[in-house]
Every structure is written in C-alpha cells, then in structure tokens.
Amino acid sequence: MSISNARREFLAIALASLAVPAIGQTASVAILRRTVASEVTSLDPQRPTGTLTREMAAEMFCGLITVDALSRLAPGGAQSWNTAKDGLSWTFTVRSGMRWSDGAPLTAQDYAYSLHRYLEPSTGAPEADRLDAIIGAKDFRFGRTTDVPLGIEMNSPTQLTLRLTRPDIDLPLALNSVSCVPRHVIEQHGRQWAKPETLVTNGAYTLADWKAGARVIKLKSNPFFHAARTVLAPEVHWLTGYDDATRYRLYQRQEADIATIEDSGTLSRARKEFGAQVSSETKCALGAIGINLLRKPLDDPRIRRALVLAADRRILADKVRGLGEQPWDGFLPRGIPGYEQPLLPDYADWPMAKRRAEAQALVAQARAGAAEPLSIGVGFPASATGERVFLALRQMWRAIGVRLELQPLEGRAYLAALTARKFDLFSHNSFATVPSATPFLERYVSDASLNFTGYRNRNFDRNFLLAQSELTLEARANDYAALERDLLRDLPMIPLFIGATHRLLSPRVRGWTGHTGVLQPSQFLSLTT
C-alpha cells in the first residue's frame, strides 16, 4: 500500500469515528445489536422493498412454513403438511392455540386471508406469481373476472387445503415468502396497519420502538409466538443505514455484535484487527447485470454476446470488488438441490484475449458503417462498490467500441426506474433464502413480475412449467439443463460472480451457522458474557 493510500485509509477511519453517533453504552448481555447498510422503507411483510425489509419480515412474522437455523424449510404456523399423490393438493395442519402479539386468536382463517391478500393486485407483492399453480390465482392476481373460485379452502380452524392446477413441489418454498398478516388489524386500520403504532405480529419478535427514517429499529421477543421458549435473545436492535466505516467503528466500540462488511478495504482491516471474528460465507446468490431486451441495439444477440465476452470477471471479483466472490458465467450458482452441476458456456474457459477479439468482431458486424461508438446506459443502486464495478466495466467495454454511461440512483428512485424499464442495463443480483433454482429462473418467464429484462421465450416458459410440475427434485435435472441452455443462448443477462457475504461477529454471539441462505433470523442467536 502506498503512503498516500495508507493516509487516506487512516483519515477515513478517523473521520468515521468522529461521525458515529452515540448509540449507547457497550452492548449489554441481553440486547443483540446488528448493523447493516440498508434501511427499512416499509414494515408490511407482504410488500418487501429490499433485503432489510425481508429481514424484518423474518424477525416479526411467521407464515405457514418458515426456515430453521440452517436455512432449511421447517414448520411455521403449520405444524405439518402433506400433498396428494398426484401433487394437485396440499393440506396444512395449523397449530392450535396461537395468538397475535396483541393477544387475539390466530387460526387457519388468518392464513387463508393472508394468501388472498398476497395475491390481491392492490397488495403489490413482488413474488405473488410464485403461487400461480393455485387454482384461479393467476386470474385473481391480474384482476380478471372469473367464475373459478380460488383454490384456498379452510376445512376447519386448524386445517387449510390448497388446490392446484398442476403439481408444484416448490409450493412450500413459495409459501415461506408469504407472511401471515393480521386481518383484524388491517380491517380496522387499512393501509396504516403496518405503522409502528398499530403493527401487530405473530413471529419471534414484535416492534418495541421505531420511527420512519430513524436509524435504530428496536425489537422485543413476542410472548405469544408459538415457539417463544426457543427465542434466546429477548431484545434485538437493528442499527441501519450506516456506511462500512461507521459499521466498523460501531463494532470496534462494542456497540454492535454483528456488522455487515461490503467494502474490500473494510474487509482487509477487519481481518487484520479481528481475525477469526470475520465470518465469510459463499451464498446462494448471483451478481449479474440485466439486459433490457426491448431497447435497441440490445435486442441484437451479437451485442449481448459481445458484452458478456468482454467482461473480465476475474478482475472484477479479485481486483475491483475484492470480497471473495467466485467469477461465474452461468445462470445458476453451484449447490442447487437436484442439480449440483450447472451448465457453463463454451467461452467460460477461453483466455480473455480470445474473448475480447471475438467481442470486437461481433460489435463490428452488428454496427457495420456506424461512425460513433455505441453508447449504453447502466442503472444501479448508488454505492461506492457498485460504482467501482461499472467504472471497471466501462474500461473493459471501451476496448470493444462500447461507451458505458453510469446512472446511479438511490433506493426508491432506482426501483421505480427499474420497474418502468428505463435502463439499457441494470444491476440484476438475485438470491435464494433457501437453496433452490426457482428464484434464479422464474424471473425469465414471460409474464413474471420480476422479469425486468423483457425476455420472451415460449420454449423457456414451457420448460419452466415442466420443471415446476415434476414430483421430485431429481426428476428436474433435465428440465434445468434445458432452461439453462435457453438462457446461455439468448443471454438476457450478464452473469458476473457467485455471491459472498462478510460480517464481523462478536465472540459473544452464539448460534451463527454460516449457511448458504441470505437470511439469519435473530431468533436462532444468543449472547454470552
């Protein structure tokens, strides 16, 4: 490291230490403190707007099915479930005697209501299409009139049956994303039900204190949670919206027990100062760039292939990000149950010189006679790390005659622009809370709610339905291969790397498992002296 760089790092740390607000005294034994970069914009668990909103949903709400400490599907509000031999119905036995955090009874009717609300067009649940196998669900989502009633049947206060148009072994995975919400509160307060003063929960925690825009979200254990005896941290404080340097200083001061790290410089300092207290985990996640196929000239497969070829993933992963990601050319990460060996394209092993030469030739062919370099815009959530990646790509693509224009936007503005497909290219990271191929593939189905690329391929749609309709994971291997072949040929996105996460973990924290899922609910953690 040069003297000037060393001085800059020292100054950054020093300034951060001055800027950190006084969160409180050294963390007490009873309070688990977690600090992250993102902020919460909504407490409605059926309308997540980011990773932290999903974290809050996992903290405070419990659907029919949840995940255990190892990110495996586990009983939630449903103590058990079974499916018919033909796979066309699922029956869930709901726990008896459950209550909301305000003491109101919680029955199968609440879960039936929650499923209806999740599918309501007005709710705007971003992944509601994952329930389309339920009879009538798709028509209901789109607000179309239909004489077919929804296949959601409450048999008794403790039993619920879902009837399907086709088998769907991913249904339990989809239900893990459907939080149970309190009908009695929503009917009283409408859209205001998820405000701090009216929020009622059924998960491990309930809201103790938070004001919109505030940095600290305080949670306390919910005495009415069906598994309250297993919750070992009675109070959790989430310290949100802080940059890497500030989160690092909070940890140094013992004002945070868990601190996420999203910058290579911070990661390097943390490993030097704290060693084994740094937890580094490969996740079931892909870092990628989406391509708006509805924009010219990106509708030309030659241009898309050129961009894919000319991206030097090794440099991006090792030199630009420096966060331990694995360079990747495929559409599925490793370790997907039932399909452990994802396909890779022929060019995955080519040297960069060969890749760059072919990329130059493809751009020249596609733009024969063009006088000016091709200009393409890329939208992404504003962050220093993200900007470094796209600055590096701008240099890589300049060599093949492509000029990249950076368009960073803050949180909500970025999501609005993405939904409206206002970008040529865009940040297109994807992840799975439970290791599965579905979250990575479903966004390319023609009418999928998360299909921001505009990808349309009838063969892909058919193969995706075939994969979902298989009765075992093992039977899906050929379907997954067919899906990947379609994507590798059509290239609706640019894969970059398999994701990795890094955190500082206090020696006081117990129960951290380091699984491949992206969420680690606080209910499985505890603190020691």
**pLDDT tens digits along 145-181:** 666 689 999 989 999 999 999 999 889 999 999 999 9
Which three-class secondary structure state does DSSP give residue 95?
Answer: coil
pLDDT at 147: 66
Q: pLDDT: is 283 or 123 the higher one?
A: 123
Element at 511 (helix H, strand E): none
**Same CATH fold, 284-500 and 62-180?**
no
- Average pLDDT rounded to a whole number, residues 490-518: 90
Beta strands (DSSP E) in 390-511 are: 402-409, 425-427, 430-431, 493-505, 509-510
Contact 298, 374 (CB under 8 A): no
Average pLDDT estimate for 1-8:
40
CATH of 62-180, one of 3.30.420.280, 3.40.50.2300, 3.40.50.720, 3.90.76.10: 3.90.76.10
Residue 205 bridge partners (DSSP): 221
Q: Which residues of 158-172 are buried (b: 16+ CB within 10 A; e: fewer)?
A: bebbbbbbebbbbbb
Taking the C-alpha atoms of residue 399 and residue 64, their distance in angstroms, rounded to an integer, is 52
Residue 511 has pLDDT above 70, yes or no: yes
Average pLDDT, the chain: 88
Give me the torsion for CA of 31, 34, 39, 43, rounded to 10°.
-50
Q: What is the spatial distance between Cα 368 and Cα 76, in angstroms, rounded to a whole number?
A: 59
Dihedral sign of CA atoms 75, 257, 251, 241 in order: positive
Q: Residue 379: what are its φ and ψ, rounded to 5°?
A: -100, 145
Calculate mean pLDDT across residues 467-476: 84
The predicted pLDDT at position 4 comes to 41
Helical segments of 153-263, H only: 171-175, 183-189, 244-252
pLDDT at 19: 42
What's the CA gap between 448 and 460, in Å, rounded? 12
The answer on pLDDT for 522 being more than 50 is yes
Distance from C-alpha of 14 to C-alpha of 500, rounded to nearest angstrom: 28
Q: Please report how many Cα atoms fall inside a 13 Å half-sphere around the Cα of residue 219, on the Cβ side.
A: 32
Strand ranges, E, within 96-174:
152-156, 159-163
Q: Token pair for residue 96?
A: 């008896």
**In this predicted structure, what is the pLDDT of residue 70?**
86
Residue 146's pLDDT is 66
User: Is 510 in contact with 526 (CB distance < 8 Å)?
Assistant: yes
Query: 382 pLDDT exceeds 80?
Result: yes
Q: Is the pLDDT of residue 10 over 60?
A: no
Q: Specify the range with the lowest mean pLDDT, choosing from 27-36, 296-305, 420-429.
A: 27-36
Instruction: Tell me how far CA of residue 204 lies from CA of 30, 62, 63, 174, in angstroms.
Output: 16, 8, 12, 20
CA separation for the pair 257, 169 (Å, rounded): 38
H or E element that contains 528: none
| Start-end of H helices in 264-300 | 264-274
Tokens 């091709």 locate to 374
pLDDT the model gives residue 429: 87
Q: What is the pLDDT of residues 69-84, one digit of tens each?
A: 888 899 999 999 999 9
| 469, pLDDT greater than 90 | no
pLDDT exceeds cutoff 90 at 478? no
Decide: 214 and 200 in contact? Cβ < 8 Å: no
Does residue 368 surpass a pLDDT of 80? yes
pLDDT for residue 474: 81
Query: 54: pLDDT confidence band, cut at 50, 70 and 90?
Result: confident
State the pLDDT confidence band at 353, using cuts at 50, 70 and 90. very high
What b-and-e string marks burial along 397-420, b requiring 16 or more CB atoms within 10 Å of the CB?
beebbbebeebbbeeeebbeebee
**517: region left, alpha or beta (phi > 0 left; psi from -120 to 50 alpha):** beta
- Residue 172's nearest CA partner among 52, 109, 83, 59 is 83
Are 65 and 50 a contacting pair, CB within 8 Å? Answer: no
- The string of pLDDT tens digits covering residues 276-293 is 999 998 888 899 999 999
Q: pLDDT category, 2, cuts 50, 70, 90?
A: very low
Cα separations (Å) of 158 from 80, 99, 110, 162, 419?
Answer: 11, 13, 10, 14, 39
Q: What is the reported pLDDT for 25?
A: 42
Beta bridge partners of residue 375, listed in sequence order: 403
Higher-confidence residue of 321 and 477: namely: 321
Of the listed ranges 13-22, 299-308, 492-501, the least confidently predicted one is 13-22
| pLDDT at position 390 over 90 | yes
Q: What is the pLDDT of residue 350?
A: 96
Place of tokens 């990575």: 440
What are the percentages of helix, strand and coil residues in the chain, rounded to 5? 35, 20, 40
CB 352 within 8 A of CB 327: no
More confident residue, 329 or 518: 329
Give bridge partners of residue 209 from the DSSP assignment: 218
Strand partners, 259: 35, 504
264-274 and 3-19 are packed helices; what angle lies between their axes, rounded to 10 degrees?
80
* Cα–Cα distance, 50 to 271 (Å, whole number): 28
Instruction: Tell me if 29 sits within 8 A of 257, measured CB to CB.
Output: no
Residue 236: both structure tokens together: 């959790």
What amino acid is encoded at 145 in this protein? T
Q: Given pLDDT bands bounded at 50, 70 and 90, which one contains residue 335?
A: confident
Give domain 284-500's CATH architecture.
Roll (3.10)
Q: Rounded to a whole number, what is the distance in angstroms from the first to the last CA of the chain?
A: 38
Q: Can the peptide bond before residue 297 be classed as cis, meaning omega within 30 degrees of 0? A: yes
Backbone angles phi, psi at 74, to 5 degrees: -150, 160
Structural domain spans, the chain: 3-38+209-257+506-527, 62-180, 284-500
How far apart, in whole angstroms, are the C-alpha atoms of residue 76 and residue 203? 9
251-274, pLDDT tens digit by residue?
999 999 999 998 889 999 999 999
* Rounded-to-integer distance, Cα 344 and Cα 328, Å: 9
